[in-house]
Every structure is written in C-alpha cells, then in structure tokens.
Amino acid sequence: MDGFPAGLRVLVVDDDPTWIKILEKMLKKCSYEVTTCCKATDALNMLRERKDRFDIVISDVYMPDMDGFKLLEQVGLEMDLPVIMMSVDGETSRVMKGVQHGACDYLLKPIRMKELRNIWQHVYRKKINEVKEIESQDHESNEGTQITKKGLNDFEYDLLLCGSDLNSTKKRKELENEEHGDQDFSNNPGALKKARVVWSVDLHQKFVNAVNHIGFDKVGPKKILDLMNIPGLTRENVASHLQKYRLYLSRLQRQSESNTAFCGIKQSDFSSKDHPGKFGLQSSTITQHNSPNSFGYSSKISIVQDAVPEIHEDELKNMVSFLPITDTKNSIKDDVPVAQKFNTVPQQGVVLPFGGMISDDCTSFESTRSQQQSWSEESPVVQLMHHLKQDHELHLPLKGCPHPPLHGQKHHFQVDPVQTAASANSRTGSSQKAEQNIVNQQRFGEMPVSSATSSTKNQDVDRNCTNSWEYFQSLTSKSRSSSISSEDNLPLISLQSYGSFEDVPLDNVDLFYLSDSSTITDLQSYVYDGLRFDYDDQCDSMEYPVTEDVF
C-alpha cells in the first residue's frame, strides 16, 4: 500500500454544483483521486462500468434523481464499497437511517478538511476485515466455502451468494479478469475485496440441518455454528443468515395463511426492521454469471434431464399442491397465473428465494440421493424442502431449487415432496411439467426486481418462489422493502434473464435445474410466456441480486 491513503479513489455524488467544486478541491488537497458526479444514476453507471474503479463513495442524501439512501444501498449491494453520506441535515433520525442503509459514516455539511482526510479509514477497515476473514478461513476445500489463499479473488467468488456457478472455473476466471485483474490486494488497496460468506446450497443445507436438529424454537447462532462445524464460519455469519431465514419462514407463513391452498407455516420470528443495505446483496461480481439466484447455488445444479427419480403415485399427490402442473388443487392453478403475474421481485436484487417445500413423506429421496448424477437434478429441491420440512408443513410449489452438490452429502434429507415431485415428474407425464415448474421458478428467480408493493403480487411471487433460496432472500428483503416500499422506489434490479428457457446454458446452474427443453409442455410455455413477459418488461441493465452475508 504504497503511499496509502494517497491516491485513494473517491467518487463524489452531489447535485449541488457548489459543493461538488468544494469537495473536489478538498479531496484533491488530501491527495485523493477524485471523480465527481452530480447525478446518482450517473454515479451508479460509473460504478458498474468498472467495479474496481473506486475505493470509496461519498454521496449526498438529497438528490433529485435518486434518494441518497437508495444509492447507498445499491452501492453497498452491488459493489460493496464503503459509502459516506453527507447532508446539511444532521437530525438523528436521518443519521440513523444512513447507518441502517449501510453508510459507514455520515458527515454533516459544511464538511471540514480534517473529516475528509480521514475517510481512508473506512477503506482500510474494510480491507483488514476482509483479510481477517480470509485468514480465519479454512483453506481446505470446504463445501460451499472454498477459500484459497490465492487471493481474495477466488475466495470471493466462492463465497458469492448468488447462484453463480462457483465451481465453474470458466466463470471464475471471467470474474477474475473482470473484477480483479491481477491486482494483489496486499499492494493495492483497491484490489482487496471483501470476503463474504456465501451461503451456497451446501452451506445452507448444513445450516438448515443444524436448525432442524436443534429445533427451530431453540435455535441460536452459536448452536448452529457449532453444529455446522464449518471452519471459518463465524457466529455473525450464522446469526445474520438465521435472521434472514426466520424472516423468510415467517414470510412463508404469512403467504400460506393467505393462501389456504398451501400449508401453514409455523410463525417464526419476524423482524421488520430495516436490514442493513446488505440484504439481498447484489454482487456485481456475480453478474457475469447467469445466476440470479441469490442463494449461491453452485454449479452442482445441472440441467435436469428426463431422468428423475421415481416416486410413487401417492407421493405425487403431495406434489400436487405445489406443482402447477397438477390440476388437482387450486393452488396449483394459482401457480400458473402467479407465474404470469410475477413481476414483483423484492428489490435489492433479491432473487426469489426458494420456498422450501416441506413435507414429511419423501423418504425415497434418500436413496436416489446417492446417485449423484441423477440427484444433481434434484438435490436443490430436496434441499429446499428439507430445511423447511421440519418446521413447517409447507407444501410449496416445487420449483427449481438450488441443487446442493451431492458430493458426500451426509445430510439426511427428509424432504419428501421434492423427491416426490421429482419422481412424480418422471413417472407421470407431469414430470415435464414439474420440471417446467422448476424451471419456472428459476425464471422467477431471475425476474427483475421491482417495487414489491402489492400484497397480492408478493403473495404470488412468494408462492412461486417459495422453494428457492432466493425466495427466502426476497422474502426477507421484501419484508423490509414492504415496509419502505411506500416511501421508496427501490430500484429495479433485473436479474439476468436468459431470454428464453432454452438459452440457459446447461452447465450453468443458476438456481434451479432446468428441464430439457424437449420436455416443455404447454404449461411451460404458458408460464414462460408469462415470465418472459414480465421479465423482459422489467429487465434493465442491472445485475443480479446476490445475497451475501457481509461481515
């Protein structure tokens, strides 16, 4: 870090030209490298253009084109840069709001030189925190948390929460080239990226297992952490994840309450407080991946071919409730229109979380699990269902769930519906539909985020996403967003869209497993059309939402 903090690259965003001029001068006097911007949207574009172009962002709270807090959240989500807010208004409530949205500092105008001189500390702090996390990580390959000492680049990829194909070296390299180049973080502060815990399918599964084992009512971060026994995972990681999980579950419960077709969920703790802007993070680093799934589904998810484990006829019935394909229940029908109407994804880039399907009768799942190959298509579903199973009697639509790598999974999935659904799919002609449904889910996961304001929409969304981690994420973020949606206009975040189902690369598992296109049924096209419709409409150039636990 030669000369640090000199040369610190600062982006200043303020609509006031006088202040821009002054701040620019002040920062230059600190020997910082200054870029000014008078519009928040321009600033975001600049930031997105080159993720590592800046070290820190200073932004005013009040701006005409975008609320400063929103910008703050976006930057925190997408780029994870430290953001300093400034305002002439120093009211406690505003400062608090800034902190809540993730500001690392809040400066009052008029700003003094000495205050600006010290902003480098925020950059530095982030860096050393990242280093700490890295150093504490187990450098062995760990399920879902593959941390290498090679550098943050690898680590960061692996830990990305989005459903990026983390195990795809190709993707990783892309990201590397894109994001980090060949900067050595030890020399270049700008290259030091935050190391976040990525809740991959595997990791989440472990988490869920732990939670179920302890008992949802008695669960606590420490217990979960101990049970999970993942080196390098901190209590804070778990606590944050647990919080989201709870929100997700409570969201599901509310959904199910309003939708009697679905089973009820046990009421979980629900806190509607604002999450720090990290919730449902969008990581710009992941954008390269076709992985809107914030749940960090790894590459284990593969395209589901027709090979689906067999399930029994009666098991199929279990799925009925959530598979849109089956028409035995109204709920299913609901799914389809829901899919169509789906156009509200929680903002903050939260991809639809997977709804966990919860049911208790999937036992055959286990047997098939061992078949790695065939399972690769199902594990996500299984996993989803599994972790929700114990606590809720959820029968959520079987959507494409992120598929946890089945490499030596020891978890005992008790998720039955998933498997049931899967097998049912293969067995019955509805398998295609099931897959389709799953695919739909995935598509949902990719749906662009929009202000989720209408409860109906939310409900629809939720229903369709219920079995995805993303959904979970979206729920939690939604809960937050719903509380602020009225006041804010959460920026649209379009998830990467595949354009069409067929376009999804086979080796890229964003979230769910995709069924072979040849199995597309009417329903699928029906749903897809709906999805595409919404999707395309809401697509913008934003990136995927990625959920990460940032510590």
Partner 1 sequence: MEKFNMQRQVSYMKNWLIEQGFLDEQFLQLEELQDDVNPNFVEEVVALYFKDSSRMMINIDAALERSPLDFSKLETFMHQFKGSSSSIGAKKVKNECSLFREYCEQGNKDGCLRTFQQVKKEHAILRKKLDSYFQLARQAGPLQAASRPM
Q: Which is nearer to partner 1, 18 or 518 (CB)?
A: 18
- Helix pair 330-341, 455-465: axis angle to 10 deg: 110
Q: Which of 82, 9, 73 is nearest to 40 (CA)?
A: 73
Q: Write down the least CB distance from residue 29 to partner 1, Å.
A: 6
Q: Which is nearer to partner 1, 28 or 149 (CB)?
A: 28
Q: Write down the least CB distance from residue 63 to partner 1, Å.
A: 9
Compute how many other C-beta atoms are within 10 angstroms of the C-beta atom of residue 506. 10
Q: Which is nearer to partner 1, 113 or 128 (CB)?
A: 113
Q: Which is nearer to partner 1, 67 or 80 (CB)?
A: 67
Q: Write down the least CB distance from residue 38 to partner 1, Å.
A: 11
> Is there a contact between 361 and 389 (Cβ–Cβ < 8 Å)?
no
Q: Which is nearer to partner 1, 64 or 408 (CB)?
A: 64
Per-position DSSP letters for 426-493, written without gaps between them: HHSTTHHHHHHHHHHHHHHHHSPB-----HHHHHHHHHHHTBSHHHHHHHHHHHHHHHHTTT--PPPB
DSSP state of 137: S
> Is there a contact between 355 and 283 (Cβ–Cβ < 8 Å)?
no
Q: Write down the least CB distance from residue 85 to partner 1, Å.
A: 13
- Determine the interface stretch with partner 1 among 86-94, 141-149, 198-206, 379-387 (rule: CB under 8 A): 86-94
List alpha helices for 143-270, DSSP H: 152-159, 169-175, 201-214, 221-228, 235-258
Q: Which is nearer to partner 1, 71 or 323 (CB)?
A: 71
Q: Which is nearer to partner 1, 115 or 537 (CB)?
A: 115
Which residues have a Cβ under 8 Å from the Cβ of 425 and sit 6 or more positions away?
Answer: 308, 431, 432, 433, 434, 435
Q: State the binding string over 33-72 for partner 1 (x if CB under 8 A, else -).
A: ---------------------------x-x----------
Residue appearing with tokens 């869209």: 497
Q: Which is nearer to partner 1, 16 or 306 (CB)?
A: 16
Q: Write down the least CB distance from residue 53 to partner 1, Å.
A: 24
Residue type (1 letter), 232 = G
Q: Which is nearer to partner 1, 26 or 47 (CB)?
A: 26
What is the rounded distance in angstroms from the CA atom of residue 375 to the CA atom of residue 422? 10
Is residue 87 part of the contact set for partner 1 (CB under 8 A)? yes
Using CB under 8 A, pick the residue from 6, 31, 65, 88 that binds partner 1. Answer: 88
Q: Write down the least CB distance from residue 489 to partner 1, Å.
A: 16
Q: Which of 519, 475, 474 is nearest to 325 (CA)?
A: 519
Using CB under 8 A, pick the residue from 8, 11, 13, 26 that binds partner 1. Answer: 26
What is the rounded distance in angstroms from the CA atom of residue 480 to the CA atom of residue 100? 12
Is residue 89 part of the contact set for partner 1 (CB under 8 A)? yes
- Determine the interface stretch with partner 1 among 109-117, 165-173, 189-197, 430-438 (rule: CB under 8 A): 109-117
Q: Write down the least CB distance from residue 6 to partner 1, Å.
A: 16
Q: Write down the least CB distance from residue 209 to partner 1, Å.
A: 51
Total residue length of the chain: 551
Q: Which of 249, 194, 454, 504 is nearest to 346 (CA)?
A: 454
Q: State the binding string over 6-25 for partner 1 (x if CB under 8 A, else -).
A: ---------xxxxx-xx--x
Using CB under 8 A, pick the residue from 96, 113, 128, 506 that binds partner 1. Answer: 113
What is the rounded distance in angstroms from the CA atom of residue 511 to the CA atom of residue 472? 13
Distance of CA 50 to the CA centre of its chain: 21
Q: Write down the least CB distance from residue 54 to partner 1, Å.
A: 22
Is residue 93 part of the contact set for partner 1 (CB under 8 A)? no
Q: Which is nearer to partner 1, 90 or 231 (CB)?
A: 90
Binding site for partner 1 (CB under 8 A): 15-19, 21-22, 25-26, 29, 60, 62, 87-89, 109-110, 112-113
